[in-house]
Amino acid sequence: MARVKIYSTGTCPFCDKAKALLKKWQIPFDEVRIDQDQAGLREMLEVTNHARTVPQIVVDGKAIGGLDDLTELHMDGELKELVEP
């Protein structure tokens, strides 16, 4: 199981960009499509304190936010520290 989980929908361009960046940075992730998985939606709401936008990215059960937050963590060099074993 990947340490990174991304909650997304099938029509979200920001979700596609976040997934592409994670792939580019070779960070494995699990995707939960909240538009197809009601249990996944409930899980996202609980983990993210009821966030209402996607993508929502979670590392080891801790919500880090969306695409902008992911990019900022990467640019600051903090993302690598979060996802390293």
pTM of this prediction?
0.93
Q: Span 27-54, mean pLDDT?
A: 96
Structural domains of the chain, ranges and CATH numbers in brackets: 4-83 (3.40.30.10)
Contact between 61 and 18 (Cβ < 8 Å): no
The per-residue pLDDT for 85 is 72
Provide the mean pLDDT of the chain: 94
Contacts of 41 (CB under 8 A, 6+ apart): 7, 34
Q: How are strands ordered across the β-sheet holding 4-8? A: 29-33, 4-8, 56-59, 62-65
Q: How far, in Å, are 9, 12, 81 from residue 85 at the CA level?
A: 28, 30, 9
Local confidence band at 1 (pLDDT 50, 70, 90 cut-offs): low
